[in-house]
Structure 1
Amino acid sequence: MARSNEEVEALLREYADLLLITGGDAFRARAYEKAARAIGGHPVDVARLDAKGLREIPNVGKSIADKVVEFLRTGTMPAVEEARAAIPAGVRELTAIPALGPKKAMLLYEELRISSVDQLAQAIEEHKLRDLKGFGPKSEENILHGIGLLRAVGNRIPLHDAMDVADDIVAALSEVPGCQRCAYAGSLRRMKETVGDVDILVAAEDSAPFMDAFTGLPYTAEVIAHGLKKTSIRTTKGLQVDLRVLPLDSWGAGMLYFTGSKAHNIRVRAIAVRHGLKLSEYGLFEAKSGKKIASRSEEDVYARLGMDWIPPTLREDRGEVKAALEGSLPALLHESDLRGDLHTHTDLTDGLEPLENMIAKAERRGYAYYAVTDHAPKLYMQQMTEEKMLAQRERLRELDRGRGHRDTRLLHGVELNIDADGEVDWPGDFLEGFDMCVASVHSQFGQDRDTMTRRLVRACENPHVNIIGHPTTRLIGKRPGVDADLDEVFAACARTGTALEINAHPDRLDLSDENILRAKSHGVVFALDSDAHSTRDLDHMRYGVGMAQRGWLTTDDVINTWSLTRLRRFLRKKPTDGGR
C-alpha cells in the first residue's frame, strides 16, 4: 500500500485546495503544494523522520513539518479538518471537474447554491452560468467536457495506485504456505491507464488459508464476499480486490480467462468452438467428450488453438488474434530494452533532487545514456537563465569526463516551452549547444483546434526540437488533452524527424495507447521518458512501457532503445529516414 509520504502528500494538496476555495492566500497555498510534491517524491518514508528531519526536505518549513508530525502521531491534521468544516458540502466535489477551479466552484455555490456535479450539469443545460462573472458559453462547453471526463473515470483509479495495491497483495499471499503461483490479472495486467478493480489469482491445493490471509490484510476495510473459490474485499482506499484460488493445473487457462479483455476472450472462445473445443477458466476441453486438452500454461492454450502466445497488453481485440494466428505479432519492447531516459529534471528548476542524485539512480538502472532536461525560462516560476543553464552544462560535462569506468554517458538537454504561436524559449544559436531539446505545451491549453494544431506543427518544424513532450498535455481524470488535429501533428513529426514522447508519469501516460497506434501508422518514432522530478520517478518507466506495448511498439519505434551512436544520428534531425 501507499507509504506515509503519499498520504501526507494527498493531505497537503487537499489543504492547498481548501485554502484556495476559501479565498486564502495563493502564495500560502502554493507553498503547501510545493511541500506536498517534495514529500511525495522524497525517497525516505516520512514516518521515520522527526520534525528536524522533515525540515531537511526541500520546501518543508517548520509549520508544515509540525503538521506532518501531528498527523503521523494522531492520524489527523487539525488544520485540514478545520478547513474542511468551512467548506459547504459538495463544493470540493466540484473542484474535481477538469476546467473548474476552486474559486469558480465556490462562486457557483454562493450565487446558485450548486453543490453537486449533477446540479452543475443541470444548470449548464438551463444556461444559468452565462450571467455569472467569469463564465460564458465557452466556459459551459469546457465544464461539460470536464464533467464527461470525470464521469468516464467514475470509480476507476489510476494504474499506479492499483499496481501498488496488487504488488503488496501478491507479495503477502506468496508467503502463505502452500502457495504454488500468485499473480494479478485483469485490466491491471493489460496495463490499462485506469483500473476498476483488481483481480488476484493463486494456484494452491487448499484455498482456505489464502482466503483467511486475504481478508486479514491490514488495509482491508470491508469483506464484500467470502468463499472457498472467490473472496472480495474493499481496501481502505475504496478499491475492490477479488481473489480466486484454482488448481495449479488450471493456472494458464485461469490467467488467460481472468486477464481478458472481454472482447479478446470472446474472440478466442469463438476459435475454440470452431475447433470443436470449449474454453473456460479451468482449461481447454473437447466439447463432446469433456477431455481436457490444455490448461497449465497460457502458451499451451493458445498453441492448441493454432496461435502464438499473445502478450497481455495486446489483448483488446484490436487485431492481435488475427496476428497470432498468422504468426505476425510484433516483438514488443520491454523495460530491459530501454538504454536511457531523455526527459528528466533536477532541483535547478522544479525537480526535488540534485543532479548527482539523479545521475546515480540512472546508473543503478543500468542506462547507457541519461539526459538532464531542466525547464527553459518561459516557465517563469522556474527562473531559469542562460547563465544557470550553462553552469549546469559545465557541471554535467565535468561529471561525464570524470566517470572513469562508469558506462552511463550524460547528455545535456532542455525542456522548452512551446509558445502560443509555436515559438520556443531561446534562439537557434543558443539551442545549438544542447545535445537535445524537448519542447512541450505548458500553458494556454484552451486554444481552438486550428491554432493549437499550427502551434504544435510549428514546434515540430523547428530544427532544434527533437521531441514533443507530453504531446496532448492531458492529466488523467483531471485535464483533457488539447484540441488539435493530431493526425496533422503526427504527419508533421514523421516529415520533420521529430519524436513524440510517451510520458511515463502515471498521471499523464501521454501519448495514450490509442494515439500511439495512430501516430505509428504515420511513421512516427517515439521517446519513452519518465519526466522524472525525483529519483523515485525514474521507476515510472514500467507504466510508459505498458502504454508502448499497448500501442504495438517495438525497439525500432522507440529512440531510447537505440545505441548512443544511432540516437545521436537521429538527434541531428535528419528527417529522410527517421533516424533508422
Structure 2
Amino acid sequence: MPRANDDAAALLQEYADLLAITGGDAFKARAYEKAARAVGGYHADIATLDAKGLREIPNVGKSIADKVEEYLTTGRVALIDEARAAIPPGVRELTAIPNLGPRKAMLLYDELGIASVDDLAAAIRAERLRGLKGFGPKTEQNILHSIDVLKRSSGRRLINKAMDVAEQIVADLSAIDGCERCTYAGSLRRMRETIGDVDILVAAESSAPFMATLVDLPHTAEVIGHGDKKTSIRTDQGLQVDLRVLPPESWGAGLQYFTGSKAHNIRTRELAVRAKLKLSEYGLFEAESGKTLASRTEEDVYARLGLPWIPPPLREDRGEIEAAQRGELPDLVTEADIRGDLHTHTNLTDGLSSLEDMLAAAHARGYAYYAVTDHAPDLVMQRMTTEKMLAQRERIAELQGQYGKMRILHGTELNIAPDGGLDWPDDILAGFDICVASIHSHFNQNRADITKRLIRACENPHVAIIGHPTTRRIGKRPGIDADWDAVFDACARTGTALEINSHPERLDLRDEDILRAKRHGVKFAVDSDSHSTTHLPYIRYGVGSAQRGWLEKDDVINTWPLTKLRRFVRKGGS
C-alpha cells in the first residue's frame, strides 16, 4: 500500500498549488513544492520518524516538518484546510488541466465565472475567451487538447500506485491457509501505463477466507460488492480492487481470461470457435461434449489453441496472434537483462540523494555500470556550473572501485534549446562518458521547428540518448508535436538512442511510439531518471513499456556489455 510519504507529499504539493492560485509568496510556494518532492522521494517511511527525523529530510525545515507531523498525528493540516476553504472549488478543478496555470485558472473564474472543466471547454468553443489577455486561438486549442488528455486519464491511476496496492494485497492473501496461487491480472499484468482497477486472482477450494480478508484490510474504505465468486472494494486511495477466487483446476484459463485484453481474448475465442471448442474463464472445452481439454495453466490453454504462450504485455491484438502462429514472437527484454542505468540525478542539481547514496543503491541492484547525469547549466534553477561538474567528475574518479566491479560513468543531461543547441560546447561534451539530451522548455513550438530541434540534437556527435523524447507527463502535460517518423529516421541514421523513461509519471516513449521507432531501426535506453534512491526500482516500469513495444534484449543499449555500449556512445568513433 502507499507509504505515508506519498500522502504527505501530495498534501504539501497541494498547498504549494493553493499558494500559487492565490498569488501568495512565490518563494514559499516553491519551498513547499521542493519539500513535497523531498518527502515523496525520501528513502525512509516518514511514519517511523520523529520531529527531528522529519527535519533531516532535505528541504524540510521546522515549519514544514511541524505540518507533516500534524498530518501524521491527525490526518489533516489546519492551515491547508483554511487555504482550501479560501479557493473556489471550480478553480482547483481547473488547475488540474495540463498547461493551465493557477493564475490563469483564477482569472477565468474572476472574469468569466468559469468554474469547471466542462464550462471552460464550452466557453472556448463559444469564443468567450478571446477578450482575455493571454488566451489567443492557439492557447485555446492547446487547452482543449489538454482537457482531452485530462479526461482520458480521469479515474485511472499511475502504474506504480496500482502496483503498490496489488502487491500488498497479493502478499496478504497468499499468507492465508488454502491459497494455492495468487497474483494480479488485468491491465496491470499487461503493464499498461495507467490502471483503471486492479484484478486479483486466487486459486483455492474455498473462497470465504479470502473474501473476508479483502473486506477487512486496513486500507479498504468501501465494499462495493461481496460475494462467493467475486468481491470488489475501494481503497482509501480511491482505487477499485476486484478479487476472484477460482478452482485450482481452472487457474490457467482464469488467468488468461482475466489478464485480457478484451481484443486479445476475442481473437483467442475466435480460434477456439473455429476448432469447435469453447473458451471461458473455467477452461477450454469441446463444444459438443463439454469435455475439458485444458485449464490448469496458461501454457496448456494456448498450446491447445495451437499457440505458444504469449507474454502478457503483448496481449493487445497488435499482431501477437499472427506472430505466435508463425513462431515469430519476440524474446522480450527483461529487467534481469538491464546491466546499468544511464540517466540519473544527485543532489548536486535537483536530485534528493547524494552521489554516494545513489552509487550504493545502484551497486545493490547488481549493475555492471551506472551513469550519473546531473543537469547542465541552461536549466538555471539547477545552479550547475562547469566548476561543479568538474568537481563531481573528480569525485567520481576517486570513487571508482569502491562499489565492487560497477563502473561509474560521468554523464550529463543536456537541455535542448529551442534552436537545437546544447548547454556546453563540444570540447566540454567530449569529456563526458555519456550525454543525454532532453527538451525541458518551449513545448509549444510548431511541428516543423520542434522536429528540427530534435534532429539537430541527434546530429550532435556527443549526444548518445534523447531523454524523455515526447516530454509528456501522464495526465498533466501532453507530448510535444513533432514529425516522429522524421525524428526516428534521424536517430537510426545518427546512431542516437531514444530513451524509454521509466518514471511512472512519464513512461516516455509510449509503447506505440516504441513500436514505430523500432521499425525505423532505432535503438533504445531504458532508464529510471532517478532523483532519489527510491526511484531506481522504477526501471521495472520502463522494461514493461519496452516489452509492450516488442523490444528484445539487443534493442536496448543498456543490456549490452560496457565495451559495446562505449562503441555506440562514440557514434562510430574509435
Deviations 1:504-541 (A, max 9, x none): 00000000000000100100000000000000100001
What residue is the counterpart of 1:545 in the other structure? 543
Alpha-carbon distance in 1 for matches of 2:13, 2:460: 37
What residue is the counterpart of 2:86 in the other structure? 86
What residue is the counterpart of 2:339 in the other structure? 339
Residue of 409, 412, 425 corresponding to 1:411 = 409
Alpha-carbon distance in 2 for matches of 1:79, 1:502: 40
Task: Indicate whether 1:525 and 2:523 are aligned.
Answer: yes
State which drifts further: 167-176 or 394-403. 394-403
Give 1:207-286 correspondences, 5 Å limit: 207-286=207-286
Give 1:305-316 correspondences, 5 Å limit: 305-316=305-316
What residue identity is the alignment partner of 2:341?
D
Alpha-carbon distance in 2 for matches of 1:574, 1:254: 50
What residue is the counterpart of 2:205 in the other structure? 205
Give 1:286-305 correspondences, 5 Å limit: 286-305=286-305
Task: Indicate whether 1:328 and 2:328 are aligned.
Answer: yes
What residue identity is the alignment partner of 1:441?
I
Deviations 1:352-384 (A, max 9, x none): 011110000111100000000000000100111
What residue is the counterpart of 2:101 in the other structure? 101
Check whether the contact 2:188–2:198 (CA below 8 A) recurs between aligned residues.
yes
Check whether the contact 1:496–1:574 (CA below 8 A) recurs between aligned residues.
no
Give 1:1-150 correspondences, 5 Å limit: 1-150=1-150
Say which SS state the counterpart of residue 212 (structure 2) adopts: helix
Residue of 529, 532, 550 corresponding to 1:534 = 532
What residue identity is the alignment partner of 1:245?
V
Say which SS state the counterpart of residue 532 (structure 1) adopts: coil
Alpha-carbon distance in 1 for matches of 2:217, 2:550: 37
What residue identity is the alignment partner of 2:161?
D
Deviations 1:1-32 (A, max 9, x none): 11110010000000000000011011110100
What residue is the counterpart of 1:557 in the other structure? 555
Tell me how far 1:221 sits from its aligned partner: 1.1
Q: CA RMSD in A?
A: 0.9
What residue is the counterpart of 2:464 in the other structure? 466
Say which SS state the counterpart of residue 374 (structure 1) adopts: strand
Task: Indicate whether 1:569 and 2:567 are aligned.
Answer: yes
What residue identity is the alignment partner of 1:528?
V
Alpha-carbon distance in 2 for matches of 1:355, 1:117: 43
Alpha-carbon distance in 2 for matches of 1:429, 1:154: 47
Q: With structure 2 as the length reference, what TM-score do the two structures score?
A: 0.99
Say which SS state the counterpart of residue 501 (structure 1) adopts: strand
Say which SS state the counterpart of residue 90 (structure 1) adopts: helix
Alpha-carbon distance in 2 for matches of 1:454, 1:127: 33
What residue identity is the alignment partner of 1:11?
L
Check whether the contact 2:401–2:407 (CA below 8 A) recurs between aligned residues.
no
Alpha-carbon distance in 2 for matches of 1:231, 1:51: 40
Alpha-carbon distance in 2 for matches of 1:407, 1:298: 40
Say which SS state the counterpart of residue 510 (structure 1) adopts: coil
Give 1:419-568 correspondences, 5 Å limit: 419-568=417-566
Alpha-carbon distance in 1 for matches of 2:340, 2:83: 44
What residue identity is the alignment partner of 1:450?
A
Alpha-carbon distance in 1 for matches of 2:79, 2:142: 33
Alpha-carbon distance in 2 for matches of 1:390, 1:240: 50
Tell me how far 1:276 sits from its aligned partner: 1.1
Tell me how far 1:401 sits from its aligned partner: 4.4
What residue is the counterpart of 1:182 in the other structure? 182
What is the percentage of aligned positions where both structures have the same residue? 71
* TM superposition outliers: structure 1 runs of 4+ over 2 Å: none
State which drifts further: 311-320 or 127-136. 127-136
Alpha-carbon distance in 1 for matches of 2:459, 2:79: 50
Q: With structure 1 as the length reference, what TM-score do the two structures score?
A: 0.98
Alpha-carbon distance in 2 for matches of 1:105, 1:229: 47
Tell me how far 1:402 sits from its aligned partner: 4.8
Alpha-carbon distance in 1 for matches of 2:236, 2:49: 24
Say which SS state the counterpart of residue 149 (structure 1) adopts: helix
Alpha-carbon distance in 1 for matches of 2:220, 2:554: 44
Alpha-carbon distance in 1 for matches of 2:218, 2:398: 49
Tell me how far 1:324 sits from its aligned partner: 1.0
What residue identity is the alignment partner of 2:223?
V
Tell me how far 1:236 sits from its aligned partner: 1.1
State which drifts further: 348-357 or 392-401. 392-401
Check whether the contact 1:294–1:301 (CA below 8 A) recurs between aligned residues.
yes
State which drifts further: 540-549 or 130-139. 130-139
State which drifts further: 320-329 or 11-20. 320-329
Give aligned pairs, total: 574
Say which SS state the counterpart of residue 400 (structure 2) adopts: helix
Deviations 1:423-471 (A, max 9, x none): 0000001111000100000011010000000000000000110000000
What residue is the counterpart of 2:367 in the other structure? 367
Deviations 1:525-579 (A, max 9, x none): 000000000001000011001000000000110000000111011111129xxx9
Alpha-carbon distance in 1 for matches of 2:572, 2:371: 20
Deviations 1:460-498 (A, max 9, x none): 000110000000000000000001001100100000000
Tell me how far 1:130 sits from its aligned partner: 1.2
State which drifts further: 32-41 or 129-138. 129-138
Say which SS state the counterpart of residue 211 (structure 2) adopts: helix
Say which SS state the counterpart of residue 89 (structure 2) adopts: coil
Say which SS state the counterpart of residue 243 (structure 1) adopts: strand
Tell me how far 1:55 sits from its aligned partner: 1.1
